[in-house]
Structure 1
Amino acid sequence: MNLKFEKHDDILIITFIGELDHHSAEEVRVKIDDRIDRDNIEKVILNFSGVSFMDSSGIGVVVGRHKKISNKGGSLCIAKVSGNVNKVFELTGLYKVIKNYNTVDEAVRCI
């Protein structure tokens, strides 16, 4: 799993590339938390356009980052989810808790 970090004004956009599973979840969590804490980020967009597979560990990463940002009074959303990863989000009910956008640009305008 590779992560690409990009700042757009006060928003941190994180692009995931690869598989977000039990093999990569801890490293992903640490890298994201480090960046959020270091730059005092309160708005995060998770771009899932490059994710080919996600398991329950990936869900834990997303939920944990949502909770971390919410506790700071900020907001987190996801964008560009497709295929099997979309099914995982639907089946777990995460779309009821975390806003989903079709594009990163749409998420930037709405967050």
Structure 2
Amino acid sequence: MDIKYKNTGGNMTVYLNGELDEYSAGQSKNQLDRLIDDNLNIKRFVFNLSGLSFMDSTGIGMLIGRYKKLKRFGIPVFLSGASVNVEKIIEISGLYGIMPKY
């Protein structure tokens, strides 16, 4: 899993690339937590999923955990760019109910 980000005018976009699964979720969680802790002044947080080739339930759990962390600071979280396969997982899980499309 490769994570890149861009902070433009208080809008943080995080680009997730590769597979978000049991193998990569722990390391991704740690990287994202550090990024969030260092940028608590942002207005909006967007997960750009266009680079994800696969995501399983562990990945969903990791995203929900970051959502909860950001919510504590009043920062809204959105999802964008999901491929057809990843979008199916998101829809089945109901993730768009808490993190809408951006």
TM-score (norm 2): 0.93
Amino acid at match of 1:47: N
Residues 7-52 of structure 1: CA deviation (Å, up to 9, x unaligned): 1111211001100000100111110110110122442100000000
- In the alignment, structure 1 residue 54 sits paired with structure 2 residue 55: yes
Q: Which residue matches 2:97?
A: 96
How many pairs are equivalent? 101
Q: Which residue matches 1:107?
A: none
Counting aligned pairs with the same residue, the percent is 36
Alignment of 1:22-61 (within 5 A): 22-42=22-42, 43-61=44-62
Helix, strand or coil at the partner of 2:12: strand
Q: Which residue matches 2:86?
A: 85
Q: Runs (4+) of structure 1 moved beyond 3 Å? A: none
TM-score (norm 1): 0.86
**Contact 2:5 2:15 survives alignment (8 Å):** yes
Q: CA RMSD in A?
A: 1.0
Structure 1, unaligned stretches of length 5 or more?
102-111
- In the alignment, structure 1 residue 11 sits paired with structure 2 residue 11: yes
**Contact 2:3 2:14 survives alignment (8 Å):** yes
- In the alignment, structure 1 residue 67 sits paired with structure 2 residue 68: yes
Q: 1:97 to 1:18 in 2, by over 3 A?
A: same
Structure 2, unaligned stretches of length 5 or more?
none
Helix, strand or coil at the partner of 1:24: helix
